[in-house]
Amino acid sequence: MKTLVLFYSTYGHIYKMAEAMAEGAREVEGNEVVIKRVPETLPQSILDQIGATQAQQAFSHIPVATPNELTEYDAIIFGTPTRYGNLCGQMQAYLDSTGGLWAKGALVGKVGGVFVSTATQHGGQETTIRSFHTELLHHGFVIVGLPYAWQGQMGHEEVTGGTPYGASTVAGGQGERQPSANELEGARYQGRHTAQIAKKLAS
């Protein structure tokens, strides 16, 4: 069984969540887990202007996924920062390039999930995940979220991400806040839970 954690990250928050997601997925016996990223679409001048160039060096070693290789995996968990309550342009451009796979039904029956980051607590975490789910449903994915069996999303003692639709983190307006221990644990849970369901379906 193979699981892909596929992400786009501007400042590294989603990359850290992707690593935690992969950690959880690796806990499932017999599961080969791969982390990849989608291509950057912003010009270098813009990346320099918004201060993303240095941050992205931390994960520049992660290979870029081609659309056709998605057929190789039993489960694919997508990570994206939120842009105006929706997924980022880089991830949308990648999904837009999968039309050939859609036409052949090549991803029907795959297990999929989504995790996100926003600048603020109410920056569109749930709307982004739910919008992403729509695209996965068009491809025929079996969608897995972050069930309330993970109790970390039930507390109110601290600011934290975590939704029943998928793991999430709050990055802060300037990207100053890093994923908390609770948010990373939510990602591990979702990664493990998704892989467990994919393993059951694969068998």
Q: Domain 2-202's class?
A: alpha beta
Res. 156 pLDDT band, cuts 50 70 90: confident
The CA-CA-CA angle for residues 190, 195, 200, to 5°, reads 130
> Given a cut of 90, is residue 203 above it in pLDDT?
no
Q: Which two tokens stand for residue 118?
A: 């926003």
Q: Which two tokens stand for residue 5?
A: 């954690």
Q: What is the pLDDT of residue 174?
A: 84
**Residue 65 Cα distances to 5, 52, 58, 198, angstroms:** 10, 20, 18, 20
Helix orientation angle between 181-202 and 13-26, rounded to the nearest 10 degrees: 50
Q: Average of pLDDT values for 152-162?
A: 90
pLDDT in tens, 73-100: 999 999 999 999 999 999 999 999 999 9
pLDDT in tens, 23-79: 999 999 999 999 999 999 999 999 999 989 988 999 999 999 999 999 999 999 999
Q: What is the pLDDT of residue 155?
A: 85
Binding-site sequence positions for substrate: 102
Which residues have C-beta within 8 Å of that of residue 43, sequence separation ≥ 6? none
User: What is the Cα–Cα distance from 84 to 125, expressed in whole angstroms?
Assistant: 10
Binding-site sequence positions: 9-14, 82-84, 102, 138
User: What is the Cα–Cα distance from 92 to 95, expressed in whole angstroms?
Assistant: 5
* CB 101, CB 136: distance < 8 Å: no
Backbone φ/ψ region at 175: left (φ over 0), alpha (ψ -120 to 50), beta: left
* CB 20, CB 152: distance < 8 Å: no
The CA-CA-CA angle for residues 76, 27, 132, to 5°, reads 25
H or E element at residue 18: helix 13-26
Widest Cα–Cα separation across the chain: 49
More confident of the two residues 157 and 181: 181
Q: What is the pLDDT of residue 175?
A: 87
Binding-site sequence positions for FMN: 9-14, 82-84, 138
Q: What global pTM score does this model have?
A: 0.96
Q: What is the pLDDT of residue 74?
A: 98
Binding-site sequence positions for NAD(+): 11
> Given a cut of 90, is residue 180 above it in pLDDT?
yes
Q: Where along the chain do its domains lie?
A: 2-202
Res. 173 pLDDT band, cuts 50 70 90: confident
> Given a cut of 90, is residue 157 above it in pLDDT?
no
Q: What is the pLDDT of residue 102?
A: 98
pLDDT in tens, 96-126: 999 999 999 999 999 999 999 999 988 999 9
Closest CA to 109 of 201, 5, 195, 199: 201
Phi/psi at 69 (5° precision)? -75, -10
